[in-house]
Structure 1
Amino acid sequence: MIHPHKTSFLRREGRWLLGGFLLFLLSSFGQTFFVSLFADDIRDRHGLTHGSYGVLYMAATLLGAIALTRTGHLVDRHPARRVVLVSAPLLALGAVAMTWSADLFTLFGALVLLRLFGQGMMTHTAFTVLGRWFTRQRGRAVSLAALGLNTGEAALPALAVALSGAAGWQAVWWAAGTLVTAVGFAVAALFRTERTPHPADGSADPEAPAAGWTRAEVLRDRCFYPLLLATAAPALIGNTVFFHQAHLAETRGWSLGVLASAFPLYAVLTVLCSVASGFLLDRITGLVLLPVFLLPLGGGLLLLGTVTAPWSAYAFMALYGVTNGLSLTLFGAVWPEVYGTRHLGAIRSVVVAVLVFASALGPGAGGLLLDAGVGQPVQFVALGGYCLVASALVTPVVRRLRARGAAVLR
């Protein structure tokens, strides 16, 4: 039975939560889990190796990440509706351009558009406006809206594979372009009126003294970089594993069905942990979870790197689902919690750019390492170590930030 307070929250804030949900869903078309479905078709069409395609993908993502640092501040200066009306058609253009990619130049341009306006601007806009519109209920709002990405992860790969088998992989991208355009206009209509936080609904900002951090001030803050190192881990690691999942199955002697059948487990745990953490963060703040949220992922990587039995895939996906669910809400809550909301778009544009680049660095570097003979088990163990080190580094930083926040409030 749904608690009446939760029901009233959904009813009262439904249009903004639905708009955020749809933005996260649209970001799927620029996410690695979707683009990588067509990796073999693209490599075969252009005669690319694992490494060369990974480098091309990484370069496109890097260019998109750099562009995001220059365009992300627009969310601070323009209404969300206007930002969506520009971003959605450009994302749709990238999807359609994938069908025209007869040469590497067109392919590269399509990938840039997908990464910049899909994983980049769609998630950046959603996180930024939700972080600005909600304060005391920020964790809850982000966790519910981020279910759009979970929905995309759960539903779109199967739909894409089915449509590709029936009509060819280019038809999938035509359908994606059409869907992005239609849904983009729907989101713009939902955002026609922007939400204004006010004390009556429990959304008064308790961190007003810290609301004025600028991007330049954040970049000079020594606490910023350990936080960035920790929050970038899921994007780096998840894409490294997913992008080369076919190679993993081949070298382990698994069928592709082993990995595919583990995705529902991952999706369920991601959703459960995302929603639970949203309600939890509204009570204990995001900083409390930062030192521990990477530990499940680190353990899963160590298992996947050292155990060759198929059950290790299920264990990894379950543990990654826990970390991913926590990270989706943390990413929406921590930055405004630490640095305020006045310049949130400009600050978050740097964060999202780093995450977008990290999401491509993994596939690119992983492909080059595979070409060089460095196997995935070694890569997975090293990435598991990265999770443990990042958790250790961020622990004293969190204590420092909590002390700094308490001093400001006094």
Structure 2
Amino acid sequence: MTYIAFLRENARWLSASYLLAVFSGFGQTFFISLSGGDLRAEFGLSHGDLGLLYMLATLGSALTLPYVGRSVDHFPVQRIAAVVITGLALFCLAMATTFSVWMIALAFYGLRLCGQGMMTHTAITAAGRWFSARRGRAVSIAVLGFPTAEALFPLCFVVLSNAFGWRGAWTVSALVLALVALPVLMMLLSRDRIPSAAEVASVKPEGRQWTRKEALSDPRFWLVSCGVNAPAFIGTTIFFHQVYLVELRGWTLELFASSFLLMATGVVCASLVIGPLIDRFSARQLLPFTLMPLTVGCFVLANYHAPAAAFIFMALVGISNGFNSTLVGAFWPEVYGTRHMGAIRSVAFSMMVFASAAGPGLIGWLIDLNVPFDRQVTGMALYCVAFIAVLTLMSRAYRSNALS
């Protein structure tokens, strides 16, 4: 089946997973952070105060996700999507009407759990489960929703905020979820995907179907998770401390902001390339390559201080994110089966959320201790180098298991 034929025949389900990823943007850091200045000014919060609230809310969502994420194994995707989209819309309204610090924390928690957590988890899990023979292609399409949101949502929020104020922008966000996202996705998900006879015949037997308890008792699960979560830790950390970075380098915020376009382009290109490669070679074989672009990017950022370094780094981060998101989306069901994938992936995803929450706080603490930023970024690069070696060993171990 050609790529175009695959897209045409499965447009309904591919569109659903893509749109779930797109609308998760309302709960992602790049969108929520746009209200940071208004929240600090209105409630008298410092940068540290708001950062602490956000970190605690994100950690709370990471701890909750393993419990609610397993629902994807037991309920239809349509029902999960309906509950999560409704919840995300309500928490957008909570942000629009917030009147105290505790309500900000509650809104942060709900946005992170429903948006970054369950919307993303459902999009990738559904794509990985619906398609076996073309799992890599399907996940790569779903992943494209993230750069789409990164490219469109911040500009839309700024325009709406200028027109209606920041509270009005959050109200419009809630209306978009309720009046656009909900009905469209309910229509797309009204019919379950049933694989064709030819597809079933072409799929290799999945073999053992691991339970979550069995997967969590496998040391390889934890080692791989520590490796594939490096992009979340490093990317979120650099973005959160971008003001410090540009001041240190003598760049401008406008210059660094413009480099996000290259990052989005890198995500799209890497996702479209890696999907067919996964279907051809398997996610197990490609696992060791996922951190290579990020490793080079960190070494460039640490040792090259010209403005061009921002664009090189962000392009490589985009490639790494596109590669990593698609690869991980296909990897877990490939090695642990699909029967309990919602429960297993919810733990893996909560670890990613934890990494994205811990990074800004840890690096901020090191900055306060006057640890040179270049040394910190070099440490990130060396961490990636170490885990390229670890992932190489894990790749061989998983492949040996598959052959035995």
Do the structures match in fold with TM over 0.5? yes
Deviation at 1:198, TM superposition (A): 4.2
Which residue number in structure 2 is paired with residue 289 of structure 1?
286
* Residue identity in the other structure for 2:154: P
Within the candidate set 298, 302, 306, 1:305 is matched to 302
Match of 2:175 in 1: 178
Deviation readout 1:37-80 (Å, 9 max, x if unpaired): 23233233333333332222111111111111111111110000
TM-score by length of structure 2 reads 0.95
After alignment, is 45-54 or 93-102 more displaced?
Answer: 45-54
More displaced 10-residue stretch of structure 1: 385-394 or 83-92? 385-394
In the superposition, the TM-score normalised over structure 1's length comes to: 0.94
For 1:257, the equivalent position in structure 2 comes to 254
Aligned counterpart for 1:200 among listed residues 178, 198, 201: 198
Q: Quick check: 2:137–2:276 contact (8 Å CA) kept in 1? A: yes
Name the counterpart of 1:391. Answer: 388
CA deviations 1:181-236 (Å, max 9, x no partner) are 220231122111111234423575424312x2000000011111111011111111
Deviation larger for 347-356 or 365-374:
365-374
In structure 1, list runs of 5 or more residues that go unmatched: none
Which secondary structure state, in structure 2, belongs to the residue aligned with residue 22 of structure 1? Answer: helix
User: Identity over aligned residues, as a percent?
Assistant: 43
Q: Is the 8 A contact 1:87 1:117 kept in 2?
A: yes
> What's the C-alpha RMSD, in Å, of the aligned pairs?
1.7
- Match in the other structure for 2:236: 239
Q: 1:334 offset after TM fit, Å? A: 0.2
Note if 1:14 corresponds to 2:11: yes
Matches within 5 A, 1:2-401: 5-181=2-178, 182-201=180-199, 205-210=203-208, 212-401=209-398
Instruction: After TM superposition, give the deviation of residue 393 of structure 1 in Å.
Output: 1.3
CA distance in 2, matches of 1:68, 1:272: 30
Q: In the aligned structure 1, how far is the partner of 2:111 from the partner of 2:361?
A: 17
Name the aligned partner's letter for residue 298 of structure 2: L
Q: Distance in 2 between matches of 1:253 and 1:403?
A: 50
- Letter in structure 1 aligned against 2:131: F
Q: What SS does the aligned partner of 1:341 have? A: coil
TM-superposition CA deviations, 1:321-368 (whole Å, max 9, x none): 111110121121000010000100010110111111111111232333
Deviation at 1:248, TM superposition (A): 2.0
Q: Could you tell me how far 1:174 is from its partner in structure 2?
A: 1.4
How many residues are treated as equivalent by the alignment? 403
- d(CA) in 1 for partners of 2:36 and 2:243? 10
Give unpaired runs (5+ residues) of structure 2: none
Where relative contact order (Cα < 8 A, 6+ residues apart) is larger, the structure is 1
The residue identity in structure 2 corresponding to 1:161 is V
* Secondary structure class of the residue paired with 2:288: coil
Structure 1 191/156 Cα, relative in aligned 2: closer, same or farther at 3 Å?
same
| Partners of 1:271 and 1:325 within 8 A in 2 | yes
The 1-side partners of 2:287 and 2:67 are apart by 28
Distance in 1 separating the partners of 2:42 and 2:360: 19
Amino acid of the structure 1 residue aligned with 2:399:
R
The AA in structure 1 aligned to 2:222 is: Y
User: C-alpha distance in 1, partners of 2:169/2:324?
Assistant: 29
Displacement, 1:377? 2.9
Amino acid across the alignment from 2:389? A
Q: Which residue of 1 aligns with 2:400?
A: 403
Please tell me the residue identity of whatever aligns with 2:190: R
Mapped contact 1:51–1:367 kept (Cα < 8 A) = no
1:263 is displaced (CA, Å) by: 1.3
Give, in angstroms, the shift of residue 135 of structure 1. 0.4
